[in-house]
Chains A and B, each alone.
Chain A
Amino acid sequence: MTTTLPAYDEVVARYEPVIGLETHVELGTNTKMWCGCPTDFGGEPNTRVCPVCLGLPGSLPVANKAAIEATVRIGLALNCSIAQWCRFARKNYFYPDMPKNFQISQYDEPLCFDGYLDVEVNGELVRIGIERVHLEEDTGKTLHVGGATGRIHGATESLVDYNRAGIPLVEIVTKPIPGTGALAPEVARAYVTELRDVIRSLGVSDVRMEEGSLRCDVNTSLNLPGEEWGTRTETKNVNSLRSVERAVRSEMLRQAAVLGAGGRITQETRHFHEDTGDTTPGRSKETATDYRYFPEPDLVPLAPDPAWVAELKAALPELPRLHRRRLQEAWGLSDADMQSVLNAGAVELIEATVAAGATPAAARKWWLGELSRRANETGVELADIGATPAQVAELQGLVDAGKLNDKLARTVLEGVVTGEGSPTEIMTARGLEVVSDTGALTAAVDEAIAANPAIADKVRSGKVAAAGALVGAVMKTTRGQADAQTVRTLILERLGAQG
């Protein structure tokens, strides 16, 4: 069925959206939540498993202290209260991604609850209420086989790898967020971005959406002004910051079309499709599984010592939002310039490049210029481009020392990105250093003058602008390895003209 979608402006003029976000973060602990199996990414199937995470009879879980601490720190950074006493719970369901046939989670007693996170949207602060932060375990990975498509529909069997099963997973749930109007999609994105930055600043997870260590579900509903909140849908499979924004927007449009045609919204799970940017229905919540939660009998309750919690609170790092403001001032950037840096995901990269010795302006130039362009072209995150802040600082050092000009520096950077080595190594190996030997340069200049007598005459007669063509000729014979300004000065000297 295809319906014509209304215009976004009309949707927000007529309806008020309410959004909510559920985010899952895989913690970067050394070991799993209930056993000592390592959590490193990408091992051969079923090589990070033991009787506990395979749910073998007689095995008993013991909670990972580092995971509890990380969760409390996330809760504190999100201004939550920390439970003085809470329990884990069994969430029972029938699916082979958990070998126990249940997931150990938390139910009505989350470790952290009732907090908030302030996020900036278009220069305004929006306070997002945090309902709860709880700790659970991640599931195994299933591969569906036997069908033609490799997808679950048509598959006859599933192959399961339990390496990921039992990795500590923190779930962060917002309170419903009303009143954002047309900005709802941007607020959703800003929240997930800020949450990611907060968690990264705590050093408890690498929070990479593309690798699944940060996953997000988006709840959306629409209501007419003055009326009760509408029926909400939950969109899963939202795997990038951009998708968070797109998913909210596309679901607002879809729901407005349904409501506008006199229909009603079904409470359901929907799946976001990265390629088309729209959502399709999944399982209907009206036949939702009965999870039969009950307190986990194999784990004793948690009772975080208030003194320990106070210590963790006192040791929290500066909030990313405040940290960014400090950097913006230190770098002397306008709000718009800082926004470009943020949009490019370059804050930490520039910060590290400056720490490695480059000026803020130079660091920003490389990360927002050449490297951002390349990241966009190849579709990778800037942080994964292949050049490190230290290498960028080294490159700029070579430019400042007059060993590389801008063009050569870009060639060297290209080599850095493709893994040829450090800037100095590449410059030396490929002979890209600026020709500073004046004898060689003078010869090249004389050659250019001799080859272009008409232009040389023009310059002699005072038309200094014509020297550009001679500079070009010299740059060509030196394969770009001369400093253009030095060449120009030399030409003008030889022709007796004043620059």
Chain B
Amino acid sequence: MAAISREEVAHLARLSRLAVTEEELDTFAGQLDVILQAVAQVGEVAAADIPPTSHSVPLTNVLREDVVTPCLTPEEALSGAPDAEEQRFRVPRILDEDVAS
């Protein structure tokens, strides 16, 4: 059985706002399936006492002092924006999506 369905790939594409054609869905579903199966093989080797690795470098508590550093100017900040208005980034409205909080 495939590790990822065509529907799941379509769902992920929608969440990522990627326009994917029907043919591409087949292609990506196949490719992602190969990747997931490869990862699953690693999972088989890993014993229960080996925690999943999220960070390959054994470091913790990399923190910085609460000291202000210089900001960009608004002109610099907006220089890469496709559009700006009133010193703000101007983007198409996004509806029907949750706002993080």
Contacts and interface: CB of A to CB of B under 8 A. Distances in A.
Interface of A: 24, 29-31, 35-38, 44-51, 54, 56, 62-68, 85, 87, 91-99, 103, 105, 139, 143-146, 152, 155-162, 171, 215, 217, 236, 283, 288-290, 292, 295, 297, 299-304
Given A45-B74, A96-B91, A289-B97, A295 B55 contact: yes
Contacts of A290: 11, 15
Given A158-B93, A161-B87, 9 more contacts: A44-B87, A46-B74, A46-B87, A65-B65, A93-B97, A105-B100, A157-B90, A160-B89, A301-B55
A50 B55 CA distance: 26
Interface residues of B, number: 42
A303 B60 contact: yes
Contacts of B100: 91, 93, 95, 97-98, 103, 105, 139
Interface in B47-101: 54-55, 57, 59-74, 77-78, 80, 85-101
Contact of B69 (A35, A85, A160, A300): A35
B89 A65 contact: no
Given A85-B60, A302-B60, A97 B99 contact: yes
A95 B54 contact: no
A496 to B, nearest CB: 75
A36 B68 contact: yes
Contact of B66 (A67, A217, A289): A67
A301 B52 CA distance: 13
9 contacts: A24-B101, A50-B72, A63-B63, A94-B15, A105-B100, A158-B90, A159-B90, A162-B89, A300-B60
A67 B65 CA distance: 10
A46 to B, nearest CB: 5
Given A94-B15, A95-B99, A49 B64 contact: no
A295 B74 contact: no
B86 A45 contact: yes
A225 B26 CA distance: 52
B39 to A, nearest CB: 14
Contact of A64 (B64, B70, B89, B99): B64
A44 B72 CA distance: 13
Contact of A92 (B15, B60, B70): B15
B97 to A, nearest CB: 5
